[in-house]
């Protein structure tokens, strides 16, 4: 390499230094990084998030299972009730007629009121209303 080549190479080196020495992140880089990390620090870690999601999935699956079981119980109970009514309907009608013949009108009125009260009680409890409060007890 002659002197001319050496000078050309030196000039090239200087130009390259000039071009690339300014290569750096923009001002405020560290502040932006700190802000980003502060945000991350307040968020749950990946592990915690995965655990919470897993627990949520388990709870949802348990609720689904319980709902399916409830549905099955209602269906079986309903079918059982229909079968029972179908099977015992004649004797129940007979018993009811005999009771009516034997009971006085006052007794029938009390029994009707008691049945209506029990039904109302059940409905109110279903909506989380305490019937005792309604009557000031």
Partner 1 sequence: MDESIIELMRAGRPDEALGRLVPAYRRRVFGLAYSILRDRAAAEDVAQEVFVKVWQAFDSYDGRARLSTWIYAITRNTAIGALRKRSRLVSLSEPDVSAVVDAMEARDAPDDGGDRQLWRLVDGLPEKQRQAVVLFYQDDRPIEEIADMLGMPVNTVKTHLHRARARLAGALAADKENAA
Asked if 9 touches partner 1 (CB under 8 A), the answer is yes
Neighbours of 105 (CB within 10 A): 7
Shortest reach from residue 49's CB to partner 1, in Å = 14
Cα 113 to its chain centre, rounded Å, is: 41
Among 2, 3, 27, 40, binds partner 1 (CB under 8 A): 40
Asked if 47 touches partner 1 (CB under 8 A), the answer is no
Please answer whether residues 100 and 108 qualify as being in contact, where contact means their C-beta atoms are separated by less than 8 angstroms. yes
Asked if 12 touches partner 1 (CB under 8 A), the answer is yes
Asked if 25 touches partner 1 (CB under 8 A), the answer is yes
Distance CA 12, CA 7 (A): 9
Asked if 69 touches partner 1 (CB under 8 A), the answer is no
3-state secondary structure of 109: helix
Strand segments, DSSP code E, in the chain are: none
Stretches 20-28, 90-98, 101-109, 119-127: which one binds partner 1 (CB under 8 A)? 20-28
Distance CA 75, CA 52 (A): 35
Shortest reach from residue 52's CB to partner 1, in Å = 19
Query: What residues make contact with partner 1 under the rule CB under 8 A?
Result: 5, 8-9, 12-13, 15-26, 29-30, 32-33, 36-37, 40
């Amino acid at each position: 390499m002659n002197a001319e080549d050496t000078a050309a190479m030196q000039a090239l080196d200087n130009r390259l230094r000039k071009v690339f020495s300014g290569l750096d992140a923009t001002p405020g880089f560290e502040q932006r990084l700190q802000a980003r990390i502060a945000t991350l620090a307040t968020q749950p870690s990946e592990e915690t998030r995965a655990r919470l999601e897993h627990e949520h999935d388990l709870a949802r699956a348990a609720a689904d299972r319980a709902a399916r079981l409830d549905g099955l119980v209602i269906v079986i109970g309903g079918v059982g009730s229909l079968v029972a009514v179908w099977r015992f309907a004649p004797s129940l009608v007979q018993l009811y007629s005999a009771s009516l013949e034997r009971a006085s009108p006052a007794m029938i009125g009390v029994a009707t009121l008691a049945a209506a009260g029990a039904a109302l009680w059940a409905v109110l409890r279903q909506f989380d209303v305490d019937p005792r409060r309604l009557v000031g007890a």
